[in-house]
Structure 1
């Protein structure tokens, strides 16, 4: 019993929304579709992985007008969490770059200090050993 065209269901998605979309399209609970996909993948054939990826790339996302208010809220919360996570990753990478450049500067200063002061002392010690 189909409810219309097939769409990826991002509000109930665990990965790309393929299984949730199939569940919505067929009227079967998404848990059973996911269990069936896992069963097919591990016990029948690994061909389900490329098929899953192809469907995820080729299928259209479910239009926002087709979501209920609860589903829309869940989708918006998920999108907000992803946006915040990307912001945290960007902040961490900027801080890491800053720390690395600071370490690089400090190492260069240490090398400059030891190369200018140690060489003369080292040369004097070598001369005294001769």
Structure 2
């Protein structure tokens, strides 16, 4: 998980005569997904960001185009022009990784609570192991002696 957030990249800006630092890519930001997109990747980006199926997002977009008489199309092209392209470093490892990050985008507070409860469970299990190992346990001592 350390590689998910690379260090900021430095590039030289000759106009300012100094190196500029660029922010690393964020998993909680909206990106166009040109790799899975058809026209500009906006619908694929919306699907990735929200967790909906991309086909459903495309159908909803087409319905919005027909219902608005084409009034939604300028917004699509503005989003395609303004939104950055999704970096390849943010590709998901598996389905669970995708689901986790979509949950973080949908409700950061709930995701933090889930993580906190997982850590509490791990902490409780480690405490149980520690108490088992550190208490006076004759059968454990016998097993260790037999292994020697």
TM-score norm. by structure 2 comes to 0.43
The structure that is helix-richer by fraction is: 1
The structure that is strand-richer by fraction is: 2
TM-score norm. by structure 1 comes to 0.49
